[in-house]
Structure 1
């Protein structure tokens, strides 16, 4: 429970909103994702690809790494490399203070990594009928990690796949 504490809080908040709006809590949807924002772009990552969400932890900087590699944090005895996604993608962050930002933790195959984003907005539920295979603009820095979108509430919810980021050789090789 401790490792998934923030996600559990998001789930409970979502259940409370659902009950307030007349939707039954615990009602299954076809797809759920963690909504986050970076550089003004709202994205949604599949729940299954996010192992937890953290506030910015204390970390130790590392020498001879790319500028987007912030350092290593000790999270419950496990070393978590922290990367600034906005720097990696060359997208300006909208928050100047690191302490205000959130960390999305991915644990995909052999990649255990913390991705620093501007904010995490909660959990969103989608139905299969809302999915579109339309990709984000090919010029977008998020394009290599995009897998279609959901169209809901008259807006596009582009899907960001942390697993695709974890397979990117530029991301994996942070050494200078």
Structure 2
């Protein structure tokens, strides 16, 4: 077999494998977190680094859900109390502890979400989509899922969240 034929065979095999990979459904993966008792799913591809809540410098005249700014690996990030933003609790209630989930750099926003607790990782094989109509929802609240224990999880699209007008309005109004 000549080198040209071997190269051609390799290219055909690679093209077939790439086509098969495109046709297979992609596995959804989420970071499961809790905020004020609510279960939330953050897409792994949109979430970045996770770290414990440390020093957060308050920002005067900020929206009630904006806790302040924090230095994460030398970069200042606006810290958003996710539970307060979603209306699950009032500002300041329970924000002394928790973890920060920094947005993926690909979203081009220097922000982090303050969550109460990291639960772990979830994928679509562990969850079943809830088909009941939950009523009106913001554009960033994509869908709901139910796990094997019956707990409902709300999937959030962080790329849509950073485009939400309320998220972009950080000044107290």
Structure 1 gap segments, 5+ residues each: 1-28
Which structure has more helix as a fraction of its residues?
Answer: 1
Q: Which residue of 1 aligns with 2:120?
A: 122
**Cα separation, 2, equivalents of 1:135 and 1:167:** 27
Q: Aligned partners of 1:97, 1:132: CA distance in 2, in Å? A: 30
| Structure 2 length-normalised TM | 0.70
Partner of 1:171: 167
Structure 2 gap ranges (5+): 1-25
Whole-Å Cα distance in 2 between the matches of residues 31 and 79 of structure 1?
30
> How many residues align structurally?
144
* Alignment match, 1:102: 99
Cα distance 1:96–1:71, how it changes in 2: closer, same or farther (>3 A)? closer
CA offset digits 1:3-30 (Å, max 9, x no partner): xxxxxxxxxxxxxxxxxxxxxxxxxx82
Which residue does the alignment assign to 2:11? none
Equivalent position SS for 1:98: coil
2:76 paired residue among 69, 74, 79: 79
Mapped to 2, the partners of 1:64 and 1:92 lie a distance apart of: 19
Contact 1:136 1:158 in 2 (8 A): no
Instruction: Find the partner of 2:111 among 110, 113, 137.
Output: 113
Look up the SS of the partner of 1:164 in the other structure.
helix
